[in-house]
Structure 1
């Protein structure tokens, strides 16, 4: 019997083939194996490569600038140092839409809105400098506006506390703190240091997000300690500037150095420039005239003419010369003295600066001997300072000297020298005939870099005594005398060549080179003032007072005690003066022309 809705047949179980399950498990296993293989390949085999590739998309290496080393004077006072500044830059694509903020930013930078727009559009599409190396507080005030696309960089800027006083010597750096003139260029590698590196994050637009750490620390540049004394440098510069301005000269230069070590305590040029503000670019002002400008030295060469003649026996220390003539004719030239004299000994040839006497001495001397003497004391070759632009001057080979050239060389024509060469050459006379190589680096000992006996010690001693007479009463360099100290030196006044084989009628170079104390020399100084146009245009009037003011300051600054009593000094210098006369005389305004 059947019931309605009941199945006609009983259900049978469904049986799947066994191979299907195996296939499914094999597919799953193979998939897992493939995934594991890819994971192994990605994490192990290619892991380093992929991690680097990923880092390249968000990690960046930023340059970490090195602090440039300072330049110091011999006492550790800063002559050049780097100060922190900030540079503002913009991303023009983000900054251009923010023109509503431009007037405020332009006002903060001290420029017009038009100038601001010009700066932005003159750069790249993603990066443009807005303002380089401005004060941090000024940059902070601009960044506080939170203008999209405006960013900053930390940089350093070179600052020169002494301004124009040492500018031609120190030189300067460019905006990236690389030396391009003077000592900044000569010692750039020493001062610059080595840049470091730090790692940070950038977004997809390349903007910095964060600094993760320093991968290579920056190595700061090393300090450069000079032999220069900042106080003496200041006195030398102001005295030289005063002389150039007073006599309305073209330019001037001076060098003061230690006769025993060769250390240069002052090296100045005028006119100069302000290295902290080079907006008014004048290339001529950047020359270090103490090493770059050459000139015919004139009578300051006479001591070396005498030294050469004494050295080879052409004359004797007691030789005399008749100069009682208005014209000593050599070839087609007439040699004259400013003042006519009678018979002069060697001391008087120097004291009265007799051209005729010097010419007669030279004509007795083999030209090869005079040439060698001039070369031995440093003329015609660079000093070894390594300063950019230094020239060695010129001393023509003696084989080409005719009789007129032999006579002219005796009193400083036919050769060219620099102020530095003159200082070093006279340093040899002061240092018992030993030439010492000049240096601008502070010496830790009293041993010079290089020294050589170039003049017999006995000859140097005689020259010191004779040159002391030049600064005494009646000598051409009496305005170089320093109360309380013995001073030796020589004046020089040479007519400028016109470049056409002749000479200018009214253009001269005025020179004084000397050392003190003459009894035991410590310092030597050369002063050159070129092209004075006003007043008495002689080395004893124009250049000698610069020597006196600077050397006096140097002697006191370096603790050198006076070596001449007041009564002895007055007797040598002339009649006693009142306090007011003494003050006026010390300022170069007394009886300079009488």
Structure 2
């Protein structure tokens, strides 16, 4: 043991081999070289790939919604357009701490505080919709409260200025702007545009944090210009609604079209719905009854029975028929007229709507000829409008017609048609025997897209003259007469089938189809009112006034001048004219030519 004060001896120095220091420096140098090589590879050789992979973990592509195209009437008035709105959303983790202000928010939104709480609970932990697509001023009033966790973003909402007037025709879009009914669905591809794309940041729950740039701007949808005239559409709808309400009917439909071009100026259905407020969902109101509802049309088919018989020579223009009976028996059926008549010519068969006369004509006509006439006139097939839900109706093959079916087809039983088909078919009579395919698009060239001669011009001219008597004194359609204009048309009243091979005793469909001016027709219109329960339930009483009001408005709206022939026909009701009347008739023909 060392004594105190004894000095310590130094430790011996140990000398390390020189090669160890060299090895250490080599190892450090190699390590640095490896790190530098990896850095070079990561930043230079694999840099673009790694940067892209990194971006995919925090950058996202956002869809930029496109502005949906507007729907306009023929004059450029808006029928459907997209308006800017705002959507409010919240981050529940922040927003739940502000419950003291919820009643104030609920008051601005017009809902209860309980409803507001339900909306928040229905979302996720970091995202919940508070209100979708509300007016910017309402959103601004709520955002002005500066509540933590409350945010907004811009959207577009579809707005229909005409409301229920054209709702079944136009249809509507869903909350995401996709067409799901009517023209909105039929032309969705044309209207919706092409969404754009932006690059931005999202959090780990997928919620947007920031937009960094636009990669591709959105392309707005294209404008759709219709042949519809908003003013005429309004008149058609209100007149139809008035008839349905007055006669307490189930529903009604009306179509008015240009006889030369096939352009549809009005297509109305009632009852309807408000496309701007669909809180009360009733699918039955969305039907466009002008194209979706079919019916046995009744006596409005008689002109085509006569046309088929004239064309194949089964009857002559001056043929007459003895209808002086209370029961014309065909097979096991008894065919009757509402009023008993004696001997009728073709004009009188139409004027008095004789079922017996029409049945006798049909029984003279080869069934194949009548079938071909009906098919050429557009019955039993869709029109080509492309509207969703359009029905083609039915015209049974002629090979299956027995004698009773042949007689019934003559006055509109045993087949089914739509109001649109009736308007287009009568358009052929108005247009010198040329069937024009109807269209809902504005025709700037004033020429039809498709047409076919379905009956000789001479036959069509005779039918126009004879059908004018229907709206004259003593005719079944006298309530369709328009002061100052000659009107041609036909009434129809058909008993509803009960679906069990029979008919309802007191349920009918009422119809009027016609055109004006009768001798140089411009417009043709079909009106159907289904199931009236009050008053005189005949086509000439229920449907004809809707025609008169709407057609009169269309003639004035489109600048069609009154014709002198109207006064002559109204005065004579088919009787021989005096020399003065003949002179005025000629003057009217000259005016019409100009």
| TM beyond 0.5 | yes
Native 8 Å contact 2:472 2:570 kept in 1: no
Native 8 Å contact 2:486 2:565 kept in 1: no
Which is worse superposed, 296-305 or 440-449? 440-449
Distance in 2, matches of 1:268 and 1:363, equals 37
> Residue 116 of structure 1 corresponds to which residue in structure 2?
116
Which is worse superposed, 444-453 or 342-351? 444-453
Give the alignment of 1:342-361 within 5 angstroms.
342-361=342-361
Native 8 Å contact 1:315 1:361 kept in 2: yes
Which is worse superposed, 34-43 or 60-69? 34-43
Change (3 A) 1:206 1:394: closer
Which is worse superposed, 472-481 or 38-47? 38-47
Distance in 2, matches of 1:369 and 1:567, equals 37
> Residue 135 of structure 1 corresponds to which residue in structure 2?
135
> Residue 80 of structure 2 corresponds to which residue in structure 1?
80
Native 8 Å contact 2:473 2:570 kept in 1: no
Distance in 1, matches of 2:491 and 2:206, equals 68
TM-score by length of 1: 0.91
Pair 1:489-2:489 in alignment: yes
Native 8 Å contact 1:196 1:218 kept in 2: yes
TM-fit CA distance, 1:497? 1.1
Give the alignment of 1:143-222 within 5 angstroms.
143-202=143-202, 207-222=207-222
Native 8 Å contact 1:480 1:487 kept in 2: yes
TM-fit CA distance, 1:90? 2.0
Gaps of 5+ in 2: 1-13, 575-594
Pair 1:537-2:514 in alignment: no
Native 8 Å contact 1:483 1:569 kept in 2: no
**Cα deviations by residue, 1:482-528 (Å, 9 ceiling, x for unpaired):** 11111111011111111111111111111100011111111100000
> Residue 317 of structure 1 corresponds to which residue in structure 2?
317
TM-score by length of 2: 0.91
> Residue 448 of structure 1 corresponds to which residue in structure 2?
448
> Residue 402 of structure 2 corresponds to which residue in structure 1?
402
Native 8 Å contact 2:165 2:234 kept in 1: yes
TM-fit CA distance, 1:423? 0.2
TM-fit CA distance, 1:547? 0.5
Distance in 2, matches of 1:203 and 1:397, equals 66
Instruction: Provide the alpha-carbon RMSD of the alignment.
Output: 2.0
**Cα deviations by residue, 1:427-470 (Å, 9 ceiling, x for unpaired):** 01111111111111111212212111111111111111111111
Distance in 2, matches of 1:162 and 1:206, equals 40
Distance in 1, matches of 2:93 and 2:239, equals 56
TM-fit CA distance, 1:60? 2.6
> Residue 41 of structure 1 corresponds to which residue in structure 2?
41
Gaps of 5+ in 1: 1-13, 575-594
Pair 1:547-2:523 in alignment: no
Pair 1:95-2:91 in alignment: no
Which is worse superposed, 197-206 or 514-523? 197-206
Pair 1:105-2:105 in alignment: yes
Change (3 A) 1:229 1:541: same
Native 8 Å contact 2:486 2:566 kept in 1: no
TM-fit CA distance, 1:26? 4.2
TM-fit CA distance, 1:228? 0.5
3-state secondary structure, aligned to 1:340:
coil
Native 8 Å contact 2:319 2:345 kept in 1: yes
TM-fit CA distance, 1:214? 0.7
**Cα deviations by residue, 1:121-142 (Å, 9 ceiling, x for unpaired):** 1222332222111111211222
**Cα deviations by residue, 1:108-156 (Å, 9 ceiling, x for unpaired):** 2222221111111122233222211111121122222232322222111
**Cα deviations by residue, 1:537-594 (Å, 9 ceiling, x for unpaired):** 11111111111111111111111111126753652479xxxxxxxxxxxxxxxxxxxx
Which is worse superposed, 196-205 or 540-549? 196-205
Give the alignment of 1:543-582 within 5 angstroms.
543-564=543-564, 567-568=567-568, 571-572=571-572
TM-fit CA distance, 1:31? 4.1
3-state secondary structure, aligned to 2:119:
helix
TM-fit CA distance, 1:103? 2.1
Native 8 Å contact 1:227 1:441 kept in 2: yes
> Residue 8 of structure 1 corresponds to which residue in structure 2?
none
**Cα deviations by residue, 1:22-72 (Å, 9 ceiling, x for unpaired):** 656645543442232122111122212321233234433221001111111
Native 8 Å contact 1:481 1:573 kept in 2: no
Native 8 Å contact 1:478 1:573 kept in 2: no
Distance in 2, matches of 1:24 and 1:307, equals 113
TM-fit CA distance, 1:344? 0.6
> Residue 466 of structure 2 corresponds to which residue in structure 1?
466
Distance in 1, matches of 2:565 and 2:389, equals 44
Pair 1:55-2:62 in alignment: no
Distance in 2, matches of 1:523 and 1:378, equals 18
Distance in 2, matches of 1:171 and 1:185, equals 7
Pair 1:275-2:275 in alignment: yes
Distance in 2, matches of 1:567 and 1:60, equals 75
> Residue 376 of structure 2 corresponds to which residue in structure 1?
376
3-state secondary structure, aligned to 2:130:
strand
Native 8 Å contact 1:299 1:493 kept in 2: yes
Native 8 Å contact 2:486 2:567 kept in 1: no
Change (3 A) 1:416 1:166: same
Distance in 1, matches of 2:572 and 2:21, equals 128
